């Protein structure tokens, strides 16, 4: 059975939860995000339509949580492998809408670092989990991101 | 409910969600990152997303679409279609880099339906117009029921 190579990284950050910045949600930024991807759903564009659908105002599209993760201060495991890093996958789970003027805080942790060897050689995967909370302390979303180094 | 609400009773396993065919430009990627509250991807800092030269230095054929923008495009396909639905989950694997300035299609297919929880599961894709998927994954949405 093939064994994966030992990865040189800072294991002390594994599992440690790191709080990120709190971000105040800006309506104009939500609308700019929608414009950049050609958003058409009125829930993300129009207060009246969102209120009619039972929400308190227009809200951010679900994928907008990615715009907030960059401020999460993900713990850096300082992986000593490869020269290039690519986003290899992501999972987002949403629980509450994100509205303009919400204050969203984040907590990130390093979930895993592992190696895989295939036909193109060895690659090292780094997996982070970020939880997002609103000003009421409600869990808004969870994101898991994996990056590959090669 | 809006007249175009998507009801769980009106969808079936195997139904294909209308595809989005698009070509993403560097200007769109720049606008996408500019909409972030904070971004490391300033147009002033060359990256694989905003510089042909930097992308080629990294061994790519040219600038690429960021993974987070692929997530946004897939999510948009689902939310444009699922009027009234609650988006629950998107879990995607970026199998290949997605090039800018090339026509791509994003779509989804319903793979499971649970009328007790009003939930559907979908497989999602971003593909070139002919070839293997760049992005594959699965998604989950809670639809509205006519039963209330």
pLDDT per residue as tens digits for the range A103-135: 999 999 999 999 999 888 899 999 999 999 999
DSSP string, B118-140: TEEEEEEEEEESSSS-SEEEEEE
What is the reported pLDDT for B142? 97
Q: What is the mean pLDDT of residues A41-52?
A: 94
- From CA B5, how far away is CA B63, in angstroms rounded? 38
Query: What's the maximum distance between 2 C-alpha atoms anywhere in chain B?
Result: 57
Of A25, A41, A88, the CB nearest to B80: A41
What is the reported pLDDT for A119? 86
In a domain, A36, yes or no: no
Beta carbons of B79 and A35 less than 8 Å apart: no
What is the reported pLDDT for B41? 64
Residues of chain A found within 8 Å of residue B141, distances taken between Cβ atoms? none
Q: What is the mean pLDDT of residues B122-146?
A: 96
Provide, rounded to the nearest whole percent, the portion of chain A with pLDDT above 70: 96
What is the reported pLDDT for B42? 67
Beta carbons of A90 and B68 less than 8 Å apart: yes
A30: nearest CA partner in chain B: B35
In a domain, A53, yes or no: no
Range of the domain at A75: 11-24+63-149
Question: Is the reported ipTM for this assembly greater than 0.90?
Answer: yes
Element (H, E) at A27: helix A27-37
Whether A22 has its CB under 8 Å from any CB of chain B: the answer is: no
In a domain, A57, yes or no: no
Q: What is the mean pLDDT of residues A95-101?
A: 98
Residues of chain B found within 8 Å of residue A40, distances taken between Cβ atoms? 76, 80
Residues of chain B found within 8 Å of residue A61, distances taken between Cβ atoms? 72, 75-76, 79
Whether B23 has its CB under 8 Å from any CB of chain A: the answer is: no
Beta carbons of B31 and A32 less than 8 Å apart: yes
Q: Which residue has the higher pLDDT, A1 or A45?
A: A45
What is the reported pLDDT for B131? 87
In a domain, A46, yes or no: no
pLDDT per residue as tens digits for the range B9-49: 999 999 999 999 999 999 999 999 999 987 666 667 899 99
Provide, rounded to the nearest whole percent, the portion of chain A with pLDDT above 90: 82
Q: How many distinct structural domains can be found in chain A? A: 1
B82: nearest CA partner in chain A: A41
Q: What is the CATH number of the domain that holds A85?
A: 3.10.129.10
Beta carbons of A63 and B75 less than 8 Å apart: yes
Residue-range domains of chain B with CATH:
8-24+64-142 (3.10.129.10)
Q: What is the mean pLDDT of residues B75-89?
A: 95
* B109 bridge partner residues: B16, B123
Q: What is the mean pLDDT of residues B126-148?
A: 95
Whole-structure pTM value: 0.93
In a domain, A82, yes or no: yes
Of B22, B79, B88, the CB nearest to A93: B88
In a domain, A113, yes or no: yes
In a domain, A33, yes or no: no
What is the reported pLDDT for A68? 92
- From CA A118, how far away is CA A2, in angstroms rounded? 11
Question: What confidence tier does A90 reach under pLDDT thresholds 50, 70, 90?
Answer: very high
Question: What confidence tier does B117 reach under pLDDT thresholds 50, 70, 90?
Answer: very high
In a domain, A44, yes or no: no
């Amino acid at each position: 059975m093939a064994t994966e190579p030992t990865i040189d990284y800072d294991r002390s950050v594994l599992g440690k939860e790191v709080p990120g910045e709190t971000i105040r949600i800006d309506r104009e930024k939500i609308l700019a995000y929608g414009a950049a991807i050609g958003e058409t759903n009125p829930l993300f564009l129009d207060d009246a339509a969102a209120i009619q659908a039972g929400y308190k105002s227009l809200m951010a599209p679900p994928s907008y949580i990615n715009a907030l993760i960059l401020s999460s201060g993900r713990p850096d495991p300082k992986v000593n492998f490869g020269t290039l890093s690519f986003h290899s996958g992501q999972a987002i789970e949403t629980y509450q809408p994100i509205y303009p003027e919400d204050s969203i805080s984040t907590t990130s942790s390093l979930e895993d670092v592992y190696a895989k060897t295939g036909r193109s050689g060895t690659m090292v995967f780094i997996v982070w989990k970020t939880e997002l909370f609103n000003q009421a302390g409600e869990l808004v979303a969870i994101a898991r991101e994996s990056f590959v180094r090669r | 409910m809006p007249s175009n609400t998507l009801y769980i009773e009106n969808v079936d396993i195997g139904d294909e969600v209308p595809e989005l065919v698009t070509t993403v430009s560097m200007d769109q990627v720049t606008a996408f990152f500019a909409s972030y509250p904070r971004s490391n991807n300033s147009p002033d800092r060359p990256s694989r997303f905003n510089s042909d030269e930097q992308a080629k230095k990294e061994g790519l054929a040219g600038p690429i679409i960021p993974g987070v923008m692929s997530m946004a495009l897939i999510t948009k396909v689902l939310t444009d279609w699922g009027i009234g639905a609650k988006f629950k989950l998107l879990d995607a694997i970026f199998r290949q880099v997605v090039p800018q300035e090339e026509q791509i299609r994003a779509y989804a297919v319903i793979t499971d339906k649970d009328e007790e929880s009003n939930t559907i599961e979908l497989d999602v894709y971003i593909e070139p117009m002919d070839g293997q998927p760049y992005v594959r994954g699965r998604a989950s949405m809670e639809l509205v029921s006519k039963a209330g």
